[in-house]
């Protein structure tokens, strides 16, 4: 028995949980529909407000109808009471006699009242309907319960008896045995003994009338609410459907279908909205075409100028090389001029190369030559290429590379160019402090961060560093002679891989650039193996008490499975 009760208890708990789960799902579905459907919101709101109005109106009408019925019933009952009182007075005139004789006289009077009530009713009192008469002769020395009576005296409430026994006409609504009566009473004054007359009018007819009115109003209210909901839904649909069509056309327009237009039907406000939208779309389409033509013209101009400059630049380069080779035969000032000429020609060639590269990226003609390779040698080559610049700036470049291979499907040339640009930028802004390159990977992505501890970036500059020709401080001396396009090209290279290139920096804390690439071309990345910004306790290698310092070469206990390489 106990096990059975336990099973029943667990079944009830499971049923309650399923019901709660179902309720939550329905609530969530309702919330989603409420947020996304204007038509549903308007219909539900109208239905709720209409329900409140119909309920209040129904209550007011029901109260008014009930009060009118009861007022009519009470007036007719009072009129009937006056007629019956006159009949009773004519029957009971004279001496009341002993108790038994009085009881007989009361019964006879009651029969007379009952038989003659219909014949003596006037038009007003006939609206009171059928009634039960009660005659009672009270004894001043006894309680009213022991009075001599004729008729259902026990149905008369004591409150009504007290008023009538005090020679007052009174009325009261009282329920006896499940039946509700309108009871009216008045004293009969033609006898030597006080006699009270009560008329009990059943209210079944009025109750049926009120119930019929309630049912009619309930059914009518439900029908009215359904009609209102249908009408609201229909009217709202007429407004929402054009809006939905406009939203669909706008989405197609935003996706690049610039020829999409709204159908103009009629001359109403929605038609005016469609006309305005079509005019706006035509204007945007025209401006976008003009911008595309301008962009193509600009890219073509950049490409043509870059190509055209290569021929005279080659001639100038040959002459400069001859002068540079013979600089030892020149005076000191002329020899220095030859060296500056070669340096500036190197920078000019780099600028032309970057301009050609950025024009190809803008034109979308660049292709990704990706292959599955180990990323660690790419990082080492990038560090070796900036080692001379780092040495002249007094900065050390330190590597944190995993011991195991980190394979990914990448274009080695582009990734190496990204890292070279990031390292050169870090050395240039590092103020002679160490530069750290870290490599990490997970199942879906490879991340490389380049961290410097120099001047850093001010608020908002992390989004500007990838703009073309942007410089944080134009007055700052540059050691690398950059063209201002390196970071912009690096970001485009990262996007070409399907990855991201992010920046972080704070004044006097340095900056950090993070390159995140998918391990296979075309796959999506939802995170990065390395954090950005770095951890709060990140510090330059060997700074202070050694927090954040890299392990010495060959020290495998400090940072397990990490290769440490320092390049100066």
Predicted local confidence at residue 297, as pLDDT:
76
Query: Quick check: 172 and 159 in contact, CB under 8 A?
Result: yes
Question: Higher model confidence: residue 198 or residue 482?
Answer: 198
Pick from 212, 241, 270: which residue ends a domain?
241
Q: Burial, 349: exposed, middle or buried (Cβ in 10 Å; 0-12, 13-18, 19+)?
A: middle
Residues 449-464 have pLDDT tens digits of 999 998 888 887 888 8
In the predicted model, what is the mean pLDDT of residues 42-52? 84
Confidence of residue 380 (pLDDT cuts 50, 70, 90): very high
Predicted local confidence at residue 249, as pLDDT:
86
Question: Higher model confidence: residue 375 or residue 479?
Answer: 375
- Asked whether residue 414 is assigned to any structural domain, the reply reads yes
Predicted local confidence at residue 375, as pLDDT:
93
Same domain assignment for residues 387 and 349 = no
In the predicted model, what is the mean pLDDT of residues 521-537? 82
Confidence of residue 416 (pLDDT cuts 50, 70, 90): very high
Same domain assignment for residues 142 and 269 = no
Predicted local confidence at residue 99, as pLDDT:
65
Structural domain boundaries enclosing 99: 15-241
Q: At residue 62, does pLDDT exceed 60?
A: yes
Question: Higher model confidence: residue 504 or residue 329?
Answer: 504
The alpha carbon of residue 468 and the mean position of all alpha carbons in its chain are separated, in whole angstroms, by 38
Same domain assignment for residues 137 and 208 = yes
Same domain assignment for residues 276 and 321 = yes
- Residues paired with residue 407 on neighbouring β-strands, in sequence order: 374
Q: At residue 544, does pLDDT exceed 70?
A: no
Same domain assignment for residues 139 and 40 = yes
Q: At residue 526, does pLDDT exceed 60?
A: yes
Residues 164-198 have pLDDT tens digits of 888 888 989 988 888 888 899 988 876 667 888 88
Write down the mean pLDDT value for the chain. 79
Question: Higher model confidence: residue 283 or residue 268?
Answer: 283
- Asked whether residue 545 is assigned to any structural domain, the reply reads yes
CATH number for the domain spanning 416: value is 3.30.565.10
Pick from 195, 213, 241: which residue ends a domain?
241
Question: Looking at 86-100, 204-218, 260-274, which range is the least confident one?
Answer: 86-100
Same domain assignment for residues 355 and 403 = no
Same domain assignment for residues 358 and 378 = no
Q: At residue 42, does pLDDT exceed 50?
A: yes
In the predicted model, what is the mean pLDDT of residues 226-249? 83
Q: At residue 547, does pLDDT exceed 80?
A: no
Confidence of residue 435 (pLDDT cuts 50, 70, 90): very high
C-alpha pair distances (Å), 251 with each of 57, 257, 373, 462, 553: 46, 9, 41, 31, 58
Same domain assignment for residues 36 and 168 = yes
- Asked whether residue 87 is assigned to any structural domain, the reply reads yes
Name the pTM for this structure: 0.47
Task: Name the nearest CA neighbour of 364 among 416, 466, 292.
Answer: 292
Confidence of residue 347 (pLDDT cuts 50, 70, 90): confident
Same domain assignment for residues 181 and 274 = no
Predicted local confidence at residue 552, as pLDDT:
35
Percent of the chain with pLDDT over 90: 12
- Asked whether residue 484 is assigned to any structural domain, the reply reads yes
Confidence of residue 401 (pLDDT cuts 50, 70, 90): very high
Same domain assignment for residues 387 and 338 = no
- Asked whether residue 161 is assigned to any structural domain, the reply reads yes
Confidence of residue 410 (pLDDT cuts 50, 70, 90): very high
Pick from 348, 366, 384: which residue ends a domain?
366
Question: Higher model confidence: residue 116 or residue 532?
Answer: 532
- Asked whether residue 99 is assigned to any structural domain, the reply reads yes
Domains identified in the chain, total number:
3
- Asked whether residue 7 is assigned to any structural domain, the reply reads no
**CA geometry: angle 305, 308, 314, nearest 5 deg:** 130
For 445, the 3-state DSSP assignment is: strand
Same domain assignment for residues 393 and 518 = yes
Can you state the angle between helices 269-325 and 332-363, rounded to 10 degrees?
150
In the predicted model, what is the mean pLDDT of residues 500-528? 89
Q: At residue 260, does pLDDT exceed 50?
A: yes
Question: Looking at 118-122, 523-527, 543-547, which range is the least confident one?
Answer: 543-547
| Alpha-carbon Rg for the chain in angstroms | 51
Predicted local confidence at residue 138, as pLDDT:
67
- Asked whether residue 10 is assigned to any structural domain, the reply reads no
Bridge pairing between strands 195-202 and 132-137: antiparallel
Q: At residue 559, does pLDDT exceed 50?
A: no
Q: At residue 357, does pLDDT exceed 90?
A: no
CATH number for the domain spanning 297: value is 1.10.287.130
End-to-end CA, the chain:
85
In the predicted model, what is the mean pLDDT of residues 380-400? 88
Same domain assignment for residues 69 and 192 = yes
Predicted local confidence at residue 545, as pLDDT:
41
Q: At residue 150, does pLDDT exceed 50?
A: yes
C-alpha pair distances (Å), 278 with each of 243, 256, 264, 284, 287: 14, 15, 9, 10, 14
Confidence of residue 439 (pLDDT cuts 50, 70, 90): very high
């Amino acid at each position: 028995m106990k096990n059975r009760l336990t099973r029943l208890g667990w079944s009830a708990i499971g049923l309650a949980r399923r019901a709660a789960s179902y309720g939550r799902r329905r609530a969530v579905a309702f919330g989603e529909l409420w947020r996304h459907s204007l038509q549903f919101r308007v219909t539900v709101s109208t239905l709720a407000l209409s329900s409140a109005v119909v309920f209040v109106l129904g209550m007011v009408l029901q109260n008014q109808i009930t009060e009118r019925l009861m007022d009519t019933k009470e007036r007719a009952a009072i009129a009937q009471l006056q007629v019956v009182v006159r009949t009773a007075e004519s029957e009971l005139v004279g001496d009341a006699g002993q108790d038994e004789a009085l009881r007989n006289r009361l019964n006879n009077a009651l029969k007379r009242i009952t038989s003659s009530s219909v014949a003596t009713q006037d038009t007003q009192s006939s609206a009171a309907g059928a009634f039960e008469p009660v005659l009672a002769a009270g004894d001043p020395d006894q309680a009213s319960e022991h009075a001599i009576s004729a008729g259902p005296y026990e149905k008369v409430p004591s409150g009504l008896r007290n008023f009538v026994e005090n020679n007052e006409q009174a009325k009261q609504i009282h329920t006896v045995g499940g039946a509700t009566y309108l009871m009216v009473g008045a004293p009969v004054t033609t006898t030597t003994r006080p006699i009270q007359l009560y008329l009990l009018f059943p209210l079944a007819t009025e109750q049926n009338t009120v119930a019929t009115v309630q049912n009619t109003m309930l059914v009518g209210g439900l029908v009215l609410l359904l009609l209102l909901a249908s009408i609201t839904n229909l009217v709202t649909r007429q407004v929402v459907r054009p809006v939905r069509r406009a939203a669909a056309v706008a989405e197609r327009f935003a996706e690049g279908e610039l020829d999409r237009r709204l159908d103009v039907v009629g001359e109403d406000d929605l038609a005016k909205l469609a006309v305005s939208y079509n005019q706006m779309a035509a204007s945007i389409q025209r401006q976008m075409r003009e911008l595309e033509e301008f962009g193509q013209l600009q890219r073509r101009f950049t490409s043509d100028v870059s190509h055209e400059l290569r021929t005279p630049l080659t001639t100038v380069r040959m002459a400069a090389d001859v002068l540079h080779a013979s600089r030892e035969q020149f005076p000191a000032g002329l020899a220095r001029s030859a060296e500056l000429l070669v340096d500036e020609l190197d920078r000019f060639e780099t600028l032309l190369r970057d301009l050609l590269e950025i024009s190809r990226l803008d034109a979308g003609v660049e292709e990704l030559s990706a292959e599955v390779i180990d990323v660690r040698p790419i990082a080492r080559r990038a560090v070796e290429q900036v080692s001379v610049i780092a040495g002249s700036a007094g900065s050390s470049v330190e590597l944190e590379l995993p011991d195991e291979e980190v394979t990914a499907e990448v274009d080695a040339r582009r990734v190496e160019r990204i890292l070279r640009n990031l390292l050169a930028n870090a050395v240039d802004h590092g103020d002679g402090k160490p530069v750290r390159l870290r490599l990490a990977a997970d199942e879906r992505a490879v991340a490389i961060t380049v961290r410097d501890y120099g001047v850093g970036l001010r608020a908002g500059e992390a989004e500007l560093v990838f703009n073309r020709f942007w410089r944080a401080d134009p007055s700052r001396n540059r050691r690398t002679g950059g063209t201002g396009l390196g970071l912009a090209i690096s970001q485009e290279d990262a996007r070409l891989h399907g990855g991201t290139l992010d920046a972080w920096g704070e004044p006097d804390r340095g900056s950090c650039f993070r390159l995140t690439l998918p391990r296979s071309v075309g796959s999506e990345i939802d995170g990065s193996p390395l954090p950005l910004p770095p951890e709060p306790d990140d510090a330059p290698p060997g700074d202070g008490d050694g927090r954040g310092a890299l392990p010495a070469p060959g020290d495998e206990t400090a940072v397990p499975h990490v290769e440490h390489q320092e390049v100066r």
